[in-house]
Every structure is written in C-alpha cells, then in structure tokens.
Amino acid sequence: MRKIIHIDMDCFYAAIEVRDDPSLRGKPVAVGGKGGRGVVATCNYEARKFGVHSALPMKTALRLCPQLNVVNVNMDKYREASHIIRDIFQQYTDQVEPISLDEAYLDVTTSDVQDGSATLIAHQIRTEIYEATGLTASAGIAPNKLIAKIASDWRKPNGQFTVPPQDASSFVAQLPIGKLWGIGKVTRQKLNDRGIFTVSQLTELTFEQMIQQFGQYGRQLFDMVRGIDNREVKSHSKTKSVSVENTFENDLVTTQQKAQAIEKLVFQLMERLERNQLLPRVKKCSLKLRNYQFKTHTAEITTGCFLAESYQTLFQKLNAKDASPIRLIGVGVSIIDVEHFAAELPFIEEL
C-alpha cells in the first residue's frame, strides 16, 4: 500500500509578507496588484473572514474589507522560500511532485525515516519547514493523491490529517461532491438541484451510468467516489497552455477598446482557471494580438502565479510596437503539472 503526503503551505505569499513585516501580524493581508485592475493572488485567514479570496478583483476585496493591507507580489522572495522547502522534501524522498511554489506531493512508501511512518514523516517535514523558513504548512497523509490532497485541508492551518487505507472509501463517501477533483461550481449546483449532495450518493450510480452522465470523465469519477486513485507521484511535471481568445466582428481601433477587451477576456480566463483549480499552477501569462492585416504579435511574462494586471503590461509592450486596429485577442497561461487538469465535468440532464 502506498504512502502519499500532500504538503500545502498556509497562505504562502501572505505568510511570507507577514513574516517579513511583523507590523502586519494579526491584520488582514492580501498579496496582489494595487491598481484598478489588480487581483488578489492570495490572502491570509484574517482577510478571508471578510470574504476576501484569491482571484477576487482587488477593488472588490477592499470594499469587503476596507482595512485590508495590500502588498505587491514579490516572486523572487517566494521562489527563494520554495527552494528551501523543496530541499527539505528531497531529504525524505526523491519522489516529489511540485504542484506550485507552495504545494507538492511526496511518495514516502519506501522511506525508512521514522520507522516508515508517513504520519511522523509529515510532522517532521512540517517542523523542519517552520524552523528553516518561519512558515507553517499543513499536510494530508493517505494511500493516494486524491485523498491526501483533500486531507491536507482538514486541519488547516498548521495541522495534518491521516486517512488510513482501510478508511479511504468511507472518508470519501461522506464528503460533499464539490470536494472531488473535476466537479466545479456549475456541475455541483446542478447535482444539488437533483438532490445529490454527498459522494456516497454518487456511488449509487453504476459504471455505465457514470459514463452516460459524465462522458469519459465518468471512468475516473467511478473510482474516485470509491476512494481509488492510481495516479503516481511524478517528479517531472509537464507544462501546457490554457487560453481564451475572441475574434471581433469589428476591428478594435482605440487603445481603450483594446484594453477593455483584454480585461474581459482575462476575467473569463481567470474564472476558467479558478473553476478547474488551476490558479496556483500558473507559470507564465501570455498575450496574442492579431491586427486587421492578419499579422500576429505575441508576448509572455513569467509570473509564477496568475496576475491579471500582467496582461495590461504585455499589451502596452505590444501596442507600442504596433498600434494598428486589432481583429483578434488571445490571453493565456502556461500551466504546470497539467495531469491534474480536468475541464468542468459535463452534466447530462438525464440523471
């Protein structure tokens, strides 16, 4: 039986800012852009009490929490802390699968540290992270990646939760359906409208019904609702793009028209990424402009997270080179570890 640990740092970016500026301790803090188009990259628990969350427009966050302390993103500082944390992981196993700067899976099945106890290994890793960085981490310990990730949220912040192999199916069965990977807000609401609220209710569907209701994702979902997940911890992640684009019936002529169109597309992209739990996995942001002569210009920037304001920066760069009327705009991101990507599961009406 495998022993999988999912480590998730607590409010990583915000925690680093509070660590480095003690005057922020105990106060609501959000990390993100301060401009009119700024977006919350992350926030601490004090801010979440007011309804602030990642991907929220900063102006909305400030309306919900006027006393919110907004700090600009400092990726160099976050990467430095992430490198220290990953070095700690490597001391326990070489089977480490980073999901983002602040999240990773570890397979410690063959480790003899702490007499092979994954629960004790997770506790020791969390202790070492705190001693090395001053930051807290939460952990989930389980026989597979699906349950380990869910379990890491169980005792947040600064805690851990273990799901023994014999409890895997019962643990998953009592979960609300929205906890399952691949079931987003739309599908969850439609299932709720049909009286389906817990995973145990989905286990009543046969394999054939799963395929009928959810298409090819039904194959994986059939296993997930039973606590089965055979995905391996892969130390080498892949990168793939997710994008949204629009071809306009009338060319966009003015700078304002172009900027507003980009802003709308960025929010569509952000909603798609949030729905599929991909916001923490963004590596790069990219912009594509095609003018009325079908000439295409592209630009990208490495951000390490989703920053909505970066697209306006890219636009200014491209517009300075070519300000001619625009026919097509595309906004995209490069996603790390695309194995975990699943589009919103299709929902068939005949449930």
Q: Please report the domains of the chain, with CATH numbers, ordered by start residue.
A: 1-141 (3.30.70.270), 170-224 (1.10.150.20), 239-340 (3.30.1490.100)
Inform me whether the pLDDT recorded for 328 exceeds 50.
Answer: yes
Average pLDDT of every residue of the chain: 88
Contact present, 337 and 98 (Cβ < 8 Å):
yes
Residues 282-322 pLDDT 10s: 888 999 999 888 888 999 988 777 778 889 899 999 999 99
pLDDT at 60 over 70: yes
| pLDDT at 238 > cutoff 90 | no
Report the range of poorest mean pLDDT among 71-75, 129-133, 182-186.
Answer: 182-186
DSSP run (H or E) holding 84:
helix 75-90
Q: Are 303 and 309 in contact (CB under 8 A)?
A: no
How confident is residue 57, by pLDDT bands cut at 50, 70 and 90? Answer: confident
Q: Are 171 and 163 in contact (CB under 8 A)?
A: yes
277 has pLDDT over 80:
no
Q: At residue 340, does pLDDT exceed 50?
A: no
State the pLDDT confidence band at 350, using cuts at 50, 70 and 90.
Answer: very low
The CA distance from 318 to 119, in Å, is 51
User: Which pairs from 20-26 meet CB under 8 Å and 24+ separation?
Assistant: 20/77, 21/71, 24/69, 24/71
For 101-107, what is the mean pLDDT? 93
**Choice between 272 and 338, residue whose per-residue pLDDT is larger:** 272
Tokens standing for 57? 């427009």
Q: Which residue is listed with tokens 């900063």? A: 58
**Region 23-48 average pLDDT:** 90
Cβ distance 320 to 326 under 8 Å?
no
Q: Give 16 or 38, the one with higher predicted confidence.
A: 16
Active site residues: 103
Confidence of residue 338 (pLDDT cuts 50, 70, 90): very low
Q: Minimal CA–CA distance to 118: which of 143, 146, 147?
A: 143
pLDDT the model gives residue 134: 96
